[in-house]
Amino acid sequence: MRHYLVFLKVFLRSFFIQSGWNYKSLLSLGFCFSIFPVAKFLYKDDRAKLTAFVKRHLGFINGHPFFLSYALGATMRLEEEINKGNGNVDQLIKFKEALIGPLGALGDQIFWVGVKPTTFTFGVLGYFLIENINLRLTFLCVLAILYNAPHLYIRIAGLVKGYQEGLSIFRFLKADNFKFIHVFYSILGIISISFVTGWIAAKYIDYNIPAIIVFVSSLGFTLYMKSKKSKTYWAMIFPVVIALIVGLIDYII
């Protein structure tokens, strides 16, 4: 199926993979929507096969939205095999289910823990260093590239590699193969958050004891609450409460 238009359509549709997110089948609507051009390409004149194609891809699937491109690419390959009579539908369904774990774990670790926090912490650092408004606006373009370069790379490479490897894509989906992204963004992230912390401490706190108390206790409390995963909202509100209490004491004294 060296049909570049089908690849392009699947690629463009994959940007909507999370659009139909629901608690019954999670990402299956988006997955089916993304892969639908393949159905039209293979089974344009066979309505029964086209319907069967749609039904099997409305089955439960989940994973990181960018990394699901690997599943899309591999599924394209397997559907082509099925069309030629070499593939097996049950095997394809089991294969998709088995991909859920690796795709979710890899994507979450690389993007939600790595690329996203790093990019926007670096953005905050950049705002500190750049005071000119026009330069700050230009810097936003740098941030967009910093985030979307690995994003688009994974979407495109996932489709191509998935299609090339088919069932063997499992062997490729290891953290080591994405180390170059992970290491770069981890280092940049650690440097950025360290500089932001040092900068804030130097700029706002100085030798003001109440400010130091607010900063240290808020930071410590947020870290503690974040470790208790269900306390997300308290981790945001409680530092402000601490600031108000310290401010009130300062006001009274």
Partner 1 sequence: MEILLYSAFFALLCLDRKHAFQLAISQPLITSALIGFMLNSFVPAMYFGLIIQLIWLGNLPFGASRTPEGNIASIIGCWLYVEFFNIYEMQGQFLLLTIFIYIVIISFLAGKAESYLRYINIDLFDYAFDSANGSKNPNIGKVIFAALGLQFFANWAILIISIKAGQIFLGNLVSYLTLGLSAIWQYTEIAIWAAGIGSVISVYKEIKLKKVIALLSVLCLITIKLF
Question: Which residues ranging from 170 to 209 are in contact with partner 1 (CB under 8 A)?
Answer: 189-191, 193-205
Smallest gap from Cβ 2 to partner 1, in A, equals: 25
Helix (H, G, I), strand (E, B) or coil at 181: helix
Does 89 bind partner 1 (CB under 8 A)? Our answer is no
* Token pair for 47: 């309505």
User: Of 112 and 180, which CB lies nearer to partner 1 in the complex structure?
Assistant: 112
Task: Give the span between the Cα atoms of 35 and 113, in whole angstroms.
Answer: 28
Contact between residue 74 and residue 87 where contact means Cβ atoms under 8 Å apart: no
Task: Give the span between the Cα atoms of 97 and 75, in whole angstroms.
Answer: 12
Does 101 bind partner 1 (CB under 8 A)? Our answer is no
Smallest gap from Cβ 106 to partner 1, in A, equals: 12
Using CB atoms within 10 Å of the CB of residue 209, give its burial: 0 to 12 exposed, 13 to 18 middle, 19+ buried. exposed
Count of residues for the chain? Answer: 253
Q: Which of residues 48-67 bind partner 1 (CB under 8 A)?
A: 50-51, 54-55, 58, 62, 65-66
Q: Which stretch binds partner 1 (CB under 8 A): 73-81, 115-123, 161-169, 177-185?
A: 115-123
User: Of 175 and 236, which CB lies nearer to partner 1 in the complex structure?
Assistant: 236
Does 244 bind partner 1 (CB under 8 A)? Our answer is yes
Does 140 bind partner 1 (CB under 8 A)? Our answer is yes
Task: Give the span between the Cα atoms of 249 and 100, in whole angstroms.
Answer: 53
* One of 1, 3, 6, 21 touching partner 1 (CB under 8 A): 21
Does 138 bind partner 1 (CB under 8 A)? Our answer is no
Task: Return the half-sphere exposure (C-beta side, CA atoms, 13 A cut-off) of residue 32.
Answer: 20
Smallest gap from Cβ 93 to partner 1, in A, equals: 15
Strands (E), 111-207: none
Does 32 bind partner 1 (CB under 8 A)? Our answer is yes
Does 93 bind partner 1 (CB under 8 A)? Our answer is no
Smallest gap from Cβ 168 to partner 1, in A, equals: 26
* One of 36, 170, 172, 184 touching partner 1 (CB under 8 A): 36
Task: Give the span between the Cα atoms of 230 and 65, in whole angstroms.
Answer: 24
Q: Which of residues 116-135 bind partner 1 (CB under 8 A)?
A: 116-117, 119-121, 123-124, 127, 133
Maximum distance among all Cα pairs of the chain, rounded to whole angstroms: 84
* Token pair for 18: 């999370």
